[in-house]
Chain A
């Protein structure tokens, strides 16, 4: 009997190379499927089993996933952009022009990065509102909400620091206005202003500082908190959905609606 395609794939998964890389072999048993997730360094943050109700669109509108997706797009486009960009005052603007006119698909990279950034901010807010309106902050998920707020702030800071990097009029004045607002904080305002800009004016120091923040410190911090955020989702019992409430609470709230 000729081997089917599936049988060929099964044989592939039994080879030494495959087992060296992926460790667990082939098979569609529950064990094999669990191991495929559990033994993968990237995927083991997720649980091996999820409830189907958590996957329904109406539960979350997939907003959290989309936010992560835009973040990954930003990292994927941001790294090629970093290859062409020098964070120094005479070079920054010229490099942006070069990206637009010379680099193959440079316009696409830059535009995708920018649109994803705006989309991510929008999605983060939408995700926050959706979580709030479906009550996914209630115990035991309070701390995850706080982590989420931290992630919101990191997202906004990423957007703010990235805005300066083209070093054009729009960037320069936006950051001037923002840092002047920061300097209005009582007692600490001028120190915050100095810390933010690395000086008293928006110049080469500010550009370098914002570049390091935008490309290194803030993304690493974001990944760190995203890891905590996902871990908490697992430990808090998966994604929250209304149908996971105990029956009594559900009927009570349903009764309240009728009245």
Chain B
């Protein structure tokens, strides 16, 4: 009876030692301080193609109750599956900030990212950051916007492109002005793009593009406008929240 039990013990031992170990937990960072509030410093409301890395990194700052920056607090980022953070968690630096590069998920729509930290009593405090991912149609719309529309509709100039906005007697609406543009239906937008301002009793400074742009291109532009409008048009696009 001794021999079989010895074999049994050996078998159990060999299995125990050879079974794969679980890897050490991912977040090996230990915070050295705790904050009271977390705010977004920059990188909110960006627009990028699906799967692409956002042009600017997302920067959040942890403050204490007096509003001073907290160094050494642990900030963790989370979002719907598909979004990749680099890094996914970090300790705040000397100015209380954490920077992360964000790659959006594979589906078009609005993504709600969450940056969270803990206060002294281990209660979680969060800030939500919104980014927009453009699918094919919206990307096409963005390309068309940069070529045809942005010179007049965007009041900001860049080094490469001087804005025409100030030269217009009647100012056009920037495309992210959701307060105004959400009131137009898709049919309204199609009409004004195709037939010019007079189609909706607006200034003729808006030309008629119906002969220059195809129907698919106009639909792409409208999809882009809906994607970037802030606040978003209700029910226009899916929103992916952190899970």
The answer to whether A and B touch directly, with their CB atoms under 8 angstroms apart, is no
Contacts from B to A (Cβ < 8 Å): none
Contacts from A to B (Cβ < 8 Å): none
